Amino acid sequence: MELERRHYDVDSLEIRGTGDSRVVRGLGVPYSRKSADMGGWREVIDPGAATRSLAGNDMAMLWQHDQAQPISRVGATARALVLEERKTGVWFEQDAASFTEYQLDKMADKVVHQMSFGFFAEEQEWDEAANPVLRTVQQMNLLEISPVTFPAYPSTKVALRCAAAAGVTIMGSEPPEVVIGGPTVEDEHRMMRNRMELALARVKLGH
């Protein structure tokens, strides 16, 4: 599995309250909402896809997906990240004191007003009868959520490799790399980098 990131145009990131009572609230992971066309395919997250993660992971909130700029996490001893799963998705609430004044200003000015999330797809289903092809993420290992500037929803090679492994052909997408006769040195280096990135992400997020 490789880490995937998704951005949704949810328009639900907001700052409530005044002074020391301010909180930042929003939808971190939307359920049952189809993505934009990602190059011949779309994606939807099943309701309950993050339930196991919410029960077992010490998930973090980062600024712009930057691990060098952590905002909070579920297991924080002060101003912990609060996550709640609803029918519409995974909602969050975070004490505004966890953000810098610069970050709060950018969110208040609607410069940064979208949310993104990083996850590993554990169970998925591809519907080739849909137009375009539809990927349904049924179970995910949710690691982090982030306020972001742009709500882009780009195609990823990770998902395309998943489609190829499931025997799904996606027209108009860049074909995944095919290894004939065993992995090359470049393939081995790439897989090693992927494993190192995964291990580093899990260490930094407490796994």
Q: For the chain, where are the E strands, in sequence order? A: 4-8, 14-16, 23-30, 41-45, 60-63, 66-73, 82-86, 89-95, 114-127, 133-148
Positive or negative, the Cα torsion across 195, 206, 135, 66? Answer: negative
Q: For residue range 22-75, list pLDDT tens digits in order.
A: 999 999 999 999 887 887 888 999 999 999 999 999 999 999 989 999 999 999
- The region, left, alpha or beta by phi > 0 then psi within -120 to 50, assigned to residue 152 is beta
Listed residue (7, 22, 205, 8) closest to 103, CA to CA: 22
pLDDT at residue 183 is higher than 60: no
Contacts of 193 by beta carbon, 8 Å cutoff, 6+ apart: none
Q: For residue range 136-153, list pLDDT tens digits in order.
A: 999 999 999 999 887 544
Q: Which residue has the tokens 């359920």?
A: 31
pLDDT at residue 155 is higher than 50: no
Q: For residue range 87-133, list pLDDT tens digits in order.
A: 999 999 999 999 999 999 999 998 888 888 999 999 999 999 999 99
State the pairing for strand pair 114-127/133-148. Answer: antiparallel
- The region, left, alpha or beta by phi > 0 then psi within -120 to 50, assigned to residue 89 is left
Listed residue (194, 92, 105, 84) closest to 146, CA to CA: 92
d(CA 96, CA 19) in angstroms, rounded, equals 9
Stretch 186-196: mean pLDDT? 54
